[in-house]
Structures are given as C-alpha cells and as structure tokens.
C-alpha cells in the first residue's frame, strides 16, 4: 500500500512549506495560494535574488506557465519577444535565419528575452500579492517527518509544522541531500561567460556564432534597450579564473567576433557585471520525493542552456505539481510518484538533447544534425506537460 501523507482535518487547510524563492518556488507558491492552500516560502538570500543574473531566454512553454500564474502581461511588457533565430559566421556574416517552434502555442511568442532580475521581481511581487508567508535570509536547518507531517526547524531558531515541503532550492539543493537523495550535479566540460549590455540597434533576435575562439558567441535582446551577451568555451579550472579578470577574459574572446560584437565588446569593462559559470548536468531518477518532501526545478534536474529550456522545465514542474496537489486526489505516495512519472520522460529528453549538443561541440563533430535534434525536441515540448 502507498504511504498516505497527512491530510488536513475536516474543513482544514493544507499547509505547505516552499524552500527556495527562484522561478519554480515562486511559481508553485502562487499557484497553491490561488487554490486556497496555506503556503510559507523561505529563501536563503536576504535580497530574494533581486540582483542575480544578466539575462534569461524563455521559450513559449515557459511563457505558457507565466500566463497561468497571471504575470504574462508584465513579462511581455518588460522583455523582448521574437520568433526567429540567426546563425552567423565568426566574422558576423549571417548564414541562416529560421523560425523558432512555438512551444507555448500559436498565441504566444516563440521566444522572449528579459533581464533576469526583472523576472525575479515580477514573480516575487506575485508571491507577496498571493498572501503567502515570506521569510528571507532563512533556511531549513532540520526536517523531521512522522506519521502526521513534517516538523521544520529554521535557521533563525523558530520552527513550523507542514503537511508537505517543496524543495525548490536549486542545483546544489541542501534539501535534496537532507532527504537522502544522493545524485549531485556534475560538470559537462563547458563553461559560459555572460553579461548585460546596451542593445545595438540592429539586434532584434538571438544570433549565435559557431566557431572562432569559442564554441558559441551569442546574444539575446532582453528589452528595447538591453541585451545579454554570452560566450561558451571549454571549462577551465576555477582556480585559473580570477573574478577581477572576468571582464578581460570575456572581452579577449568576444574581440574576435564580428557583426554586432564590436559594439557589444566595448561595454565588457566591469568584472562585477560578468558571470562565469560551468555547465552542469543533473537528473534525479526513480522519484523526486521522499515521504512528504518533494523536489521541483533545478533541485531535481539541470542541463546546459543549449536549448534554453532550464527555466521552462522548472516552471512546468511547478505547474504540474500544483495541478496534482489541488485536484481531488489524496496527497499520498502515489500522487507524488505520478508527478515524477508525468515529468521525467519530458525532462530526460531535454536534458539528453542539451547534453548531446554540447558533447558534439566538445568532440568537434562537424556533421552533427543539431537542427534536427532541436526541432524534434521542440516539437515534443509543444504538447502540454
């Protein structure tokens, strides 16, 4: 028999703790609050990640969830939408421009770029407006499960009692480890330099240059006035990359690209605005829960951004889990396993495709069918999760 999770008493309201205030944690909080559940959200960073990140690319299936949450109009007004993707030579010569599959349906753009801090602000405002309890600068120190629920002791010395805990605390999730899930993220061998910059007048879509001194040099418009630029190379030993040299290192690579890059490169001057990150891989197998604690987003899976699907998959997790929790099924082991089974094939397809594209670049495979793999994967994502 499946383990039955604690149910609220007759007329009672289920209580949920969400650990982590990123995209998936914010999204699931809003959706559960809309259904009338009692939700507390805790976030380790006192600033709620308000200034974290340069830009983000959101495909249509991410936009579909943002519309479900009720923030699509704000996102659309804050970002930059486009339906095509350009491929250029390192010197800037445009080799190909193709339509991007609309994974969110024909009534949404194929792609939207926006400044990541702005997306975080929109989502965190939605959490506040939902009436959820929010505690910043707070972590869960211990989780103790029994037949009736989960007792949580927080880093500020207080404690709480919940029917369910949702771990949305990211790639290096402390909650994942605390509940005995041993999978950990692994580097893929690639790394990315990112930074925000003013938008050159002619940049109206993402363009990717393959080859040159790096695997990929690309940029994405994030508003009428801004872009984020990125350069992907083979991963280096972190000890060899000093934060004070970030701007010099990224500029050295970007200097060797043409087209819009000379205008972009002149803004790569402040090392504090440049981010250097290894690509990571993670896919938790078997189930994404242990008892009354369940993983969403990067805590359960992560892949290189070669398909720009990381945020979309995390938002889909939040949507599917909220749908199941607010339906008429009991909150039992079968329900949480159904969440995993509904998500894992779709997520695995994206993770494996993203890794394959990167591996082809690492192995210098010149005849790889990258467009075919991308199109097959995007066709799958057109279906509802």
Q: How crowded is the C-beta side of 162, counted as CA atoms within 13 Å?
A: 28
Both tokens of residue 333? Answer: 């082991």
Residues of CATH 3.30.9.30 domain(s) within the chain? 188-276
Q: What's the pLDDT score for residue 8?
A: 44
Amino acid 51: pLDDT:
80
How far, in Å, are 104, 240, 352, 373, 385 from residue 345 at the CA level? 18, 38, 10, 16, 10
CATH 3.40.50.1370: does it fit domain 15-53+114-185+280-378? no
Give the span between the Cα atoms of 322 and 136, in whole angstroms: 23
pLDDT tens digit string along 185-230?
A: 999 999 999 999 999 999 999 999 999 999 999 999 999 999 999 9
Q: What is the mean pLDDT of residues 2-12?
A: 43
- Tell me which residue of 268, 328, 320 sits closest to 294, measured CA to CA: 320
CATH 3.50.50.60 residue spans of the chain: 15-53+114-185+280-378
Element (H, E) at 56: strand 56-59
CA distance 275 to 32: 33
Nearest Cα to 83, choosing from 59, 61, 49? Answer: 59
Residue 210 CA to residue 144 CA, distance in Å, equals 50
Q: How far apart are CA 248 and CA 382, in angstroms?
A: 41
Tell me which DSSP letter residue 4 carries: B
- Confidence tier at 365 by pLDDT (50, 70, 90): very high
pLDDT attached to residue 240: 84
Q: What confidence tier does 3 reach under pLDDT thresholds 50, 70, 90?
A: very low
Element housing 194 (H / E): strand 186-198
Q: Which of 51, 69, 23, 45 has the alpha carbon at shortest distance from 135?
A: 45
CB neighbour list of residue 31: distance below 8 Å, 6 or more residues apart: 68, 69, 318, 319, 322, 323, 326
Per CATH, is 188-276 categorized as 3.40.50.11060? Answer: no
Of the pLDDT bands very low, low, confident and very high (cuts 50, 70, 90), residue 239 is: confident
Closest CA to 302 of 237, 358, 226, 244: 358
In the 3-class helix/strand/coil scheme, how is 159-175 assigned residue by residue?
EEEECEEEECCCCCCHH
Helix%, strand%, coil% for the chain, nearest 5: 35, 30, 35
Question: Measured in whole angstroms, how far is the alpha carbon of residue 11 from the centre of its chain?
Answer: 36
SS3 of 126, please?
helix
Distance, in Å, from the CA atom of 369 to the CA atom of 4, rounded to the nearest integer, reads 47
Q: List all residues 6 or more positions away from 35 whose beta carbon is below 8 Å from its beta carbon.
A: 322, 325, 326
Q: How confident is the model at residue 238 (pLDDT cuts 50, 70, 90)?
A: confident
| pLDDT (tens digit per residue) in 162-182 | 999 999 999 999 999 999 999
Query: In this structure, what token pair is assigned to residue 287?
Result: 């189930």
Question: Phi/psi of residue 26, each to 5°?
Answer: -65, -45
Residue 53 has which token pair?
A: 């990140």
pTM for the model: 0.95
Q: Which residues of 244-268 are buried (b: 16+ CB within 10 A; e: fewer)?
A: eebbebbbebbebbebbbeebbebb
Please tell me the distance from the alpha carbon of residue 160 to that of residue 154, in angstroms, as a whole number: 8
Closest C-alpha among 329, 315, 325 to residue 32: 325
User: What is the chain's mean pLDDT, rounded?
Assistant: 95
Backbone φ/ψ region at 176: left (φ over 0), alpha (ψ -120 to 50), beta = alpha
pLDDT tens digits for range 62-91? 999 999 999 999 999 999 999 999 999 999
Average pLDDT over residues 43-55: 91
* Helix (H), strand (E) at residue 141: strand 140-146
Mean pLDDT of 344-373: 96
The pLDDT of residue 147 is: 75
Burial of 353 (0-12, 13-18, 19+ CB in 10 A): buried
- Say if residues 381 and 346 touch (Cβ distance below 8 Å): yes
pLDDT, mean of residues 299-310: 96
- Which of 23-37, 41-55, 335-349 has the lowest average pLDDT? 41-55
């Amino acid at each position: 028999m499946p383990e039955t999770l604690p149910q609220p008493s007759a007329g009672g309201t289920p209580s949920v703790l969400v650990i982590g205030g990123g995209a998936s944690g914010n999204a699931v909080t809003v959706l559960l609050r809309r259904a009338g559940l009692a939700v507390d959200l805790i976030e380790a960073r006192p600033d709620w990640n308000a200034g974290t990140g340069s830009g983000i690319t959101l495909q249509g299936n991410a936009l579909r969830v943002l519309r479900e949450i009720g923030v699509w109009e704000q996102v659309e007004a804050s970002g930059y939408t486009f339906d095509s993707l350009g491929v250029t030579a390192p010197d800037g010569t445009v080799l190909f421009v193709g339509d991007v599959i609309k994974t969110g349906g024909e009534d949404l753009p194929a792609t939207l770029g926006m400044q990541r801090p702005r997306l975080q602000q929109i989502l965190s405002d939605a959490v506040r407006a939902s009436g959820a309890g929010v505690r910043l600068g707070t972590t869960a120190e211990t989780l103790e499960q029994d037949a009736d629920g989960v007792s949580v002791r927080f880093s500020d010395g207080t404690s709480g009692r919940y029917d369910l805990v949702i771990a949305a605390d990211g790639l290096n999730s402390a909650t994942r480890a605390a509940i005995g899930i041993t999978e950990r993220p692994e580097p893929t061998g690639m790394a990315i330099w990112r930074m925000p910059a003013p938008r050159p007048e002619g940049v109206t879509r993402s363009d990717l240059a393959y080859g040159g001194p790096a695997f990929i040099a690309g940029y994405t418009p994030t508003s009428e006035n801004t872009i984020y630029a990125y350069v992907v190379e083979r991963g280096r030993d972190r000890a060899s990359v000093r934060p004070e040299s970030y701007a010099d290192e990224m500029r050295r690579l970007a200097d060797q690209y043409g087209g819009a890059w000379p205008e972009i490169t002149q803004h790569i001057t402040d090392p504090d605005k440049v981010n250097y990150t290894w690509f990571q891989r993670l896919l938790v197998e078997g189930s994404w829960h242990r008892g009354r604690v369940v993983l969403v987003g990067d805590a359960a899976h992560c892949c290189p951004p070669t398909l720009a699907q990381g945020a979309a998959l995390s938002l889909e997790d939040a949507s599917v889990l909220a749908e199941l929790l607010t339906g008429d099924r009991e909150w039992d082991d079968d329900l949480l396993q159904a969440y995993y089974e509904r998500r894992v094939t779709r997520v695995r397809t994206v993770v494996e495709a993203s890794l394959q594209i990167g591996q082809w670049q690492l192995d210098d495979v010149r005849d790889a069918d990258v467009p075919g793999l991308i199109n097959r994967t995007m066709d799958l994502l057109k279906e509802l999760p």
